[in-house]
Structures are given as structure tokens and as C-alpha cells.
């Protein structure tokens, strides 16, 4: 595939052939959302919400034990850590066709589970975490702009196998999961889910 001159529609076709669910975002770019109902994508989290809806918190890496009747039981840490409750880690990977290639953005949000009035938390990892991610995944750079934070990368090539493009998506999901390791700050927003 030629990523130097492609369209969102062509990228969607590649994802369709790979069996990956995707959608167009408000800008017409491709959005792939990853959220699984099991560890490591679900964990206990501690967070505090300030009056301005800013948030600080951290996932606790609780030990998960499957229940016989289904679901998972999380053992609360014994180190004195406070727990707010279980939450899902949600990673959105955006693909934006650009001149000469395809831009990528990886966004991480937290979806607290079991709430009567659902909301999500758009997170911003600490500078140390971002540096660790940039070292482990050198094609990615942390970007904070307009109250948002994301890891940015890109894919290019004029004769790239479709499998290599799908591989770039999988790497983006790994980067997203890394964004949840350690303390975070962020902001809350309401959802209808």
C-alpha cells in the first residue's frame, strides 16, 4: 500500500480486511478504540477530583482473581494505598492521512466502572513516564496541546505491506497501555455510556 498518497477510506479498508473495528471521527480521520473487560485493561485505580474537574491518580496494579460466576475480583493493595474503584483503560488510536504519510495519535482515557453517571478521565502521564515511553518507542513523541495529551507518531512508505500498517496500530495500542503505568493527572468529561 502507498501511504504517501492515501485516504481515510483506503486505511479503513485495510483495517476491515484485518478484522479491526474502526470509525470515522468528527474530522473524518480513522479512530480505533481499544477497551477490554479484563486485566491488564481493567484494574483498581485511585483518583481525586478537584473542584475544577482536574484529577490526579494512579492505577494500583491490583492482583486479579477470576470469579467462578464470571467477572474478576481485585485484591486491594496491602500497602495502605487508597482505592477509588475498578476502571477500564481505554486507548484511542487516530490515523490521519497527511502529505507524504499517515500521522498517528495515541490518546489514553480512564473509564471508571459501575457509576450511575458515567464520565471518563483524559490522562496526562508524568514527564518521567513520557520520557520512558519515548525511549522504549523511539518513533513516538509526547505532545500536550489545548488541554490534551497524546503520543504522536507516523507511518510512511510507498510499498508498505498491509500487515506492517496493522503492526503500527498494535504498537500504538502498546504505547497507550504504557501511558497508564504510574501517576497521572488529567481532566474529567461526561459520557453517555
Of 21-25, 54-58, 116-120, where does mean pLDDT reach its minimum? 116-120
Angle at 9 between CA 92 and CA 144, to 5 degrees: 30
Angle at 177 between CA 44 and CA 98, to 5 degrees: 145
- Tens of pLDDT, residue by residue over 26-77, are 999 999 999 988 888 899 999 888 888 788 999 988 888 888 887 778 887 7
Share of the chain above pLDDT 70, in %: 97
Name the pLDDT band for 117 (thresholds 50, 70, 90). Answer: confident
Q: Cis ω on the peptide bond leading into residue 40 (within 30° of 0)?
A: yes
Question: Please, which contacts does 116-120 make with residues 24 or more away whose CB atoms are closer than 8 Å?
Answer: 117/190, 118/190, 118/191, 118/192, 118/193, 119/188, 119/189, 119/190, 119/191, 120/90, 120/188, 120/189, 120/191
**81 or 142: which leads in pLDDT:** 142
Which cell is 115 given? 457509576
Q: With beta carbons less than 8 A apart as the criterion, state whether 74 and 63 touch.
A: yes
- Tens of pLDDT, residue by residue over 126-168, are 999 999 999 999 999 999 876 789 999 999 989 999 999 999 9
Chain CA centroid to CA 48, Å: 20
| pLDDT for the residue 193 | 56
What pTM value is reported for the model? 0.90
Amino acid at each position: 500500500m502507498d501511504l504517501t498518497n492515501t485516504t481515510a477510506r483506503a486505511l479503513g479498508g485495510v483495517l476491515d480486511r484485518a478484522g479491526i473495528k474502526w470509525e470515522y471521527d468528527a474530522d473524518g480521520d480513522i479512530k480505533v478504540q481499544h477497551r477490554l473487560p479484563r486485566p491488564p485493561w481493567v484494574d483498581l485505580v485511585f483518583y481525586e477530583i478537584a473542584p475544577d474537574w482536574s484529577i490526579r491518580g494512579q492505577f494500583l496494579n491490583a492482583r486479579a482473581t477470576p470469579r467462578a460466576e464470571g467477572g474478576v475480583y481485585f485484591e486491594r493493595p496491602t500497602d495502605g494505598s487508597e482505592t477509588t474503584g475498578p476502571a477500564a483503560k481505554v486507548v484511542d488510536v487516530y490515523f490521519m492521512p497527511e502529505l507524504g504519510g499517515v500521522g498517528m495519535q495515541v490518546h489514553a482515557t480512564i473509564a471508571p466502572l459501575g457509576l450511575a453517571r458515567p464520565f471518563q478521565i483524559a490522562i496526562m502521564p508524568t514527564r518521567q513516564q513520557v520520557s520512558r515511553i519515548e525511549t522504549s518507542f523511539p518513533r513516538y513523541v509526547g505532545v500536550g496541546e489545548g488541554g490534551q495529551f497524546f503520543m504522536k507518531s507516523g507511518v510512511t512508505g510507498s510499498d508498505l505491506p498491509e500487515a506492517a500498517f496493522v503492526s503500527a496500530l498494535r504498537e500504538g495500542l502498546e504505547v497507550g497501555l504504557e501511558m497508564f503505568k504510574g501517576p497521572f493527572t488529567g481532566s474529567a468529561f461526561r459520557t453517555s455510556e
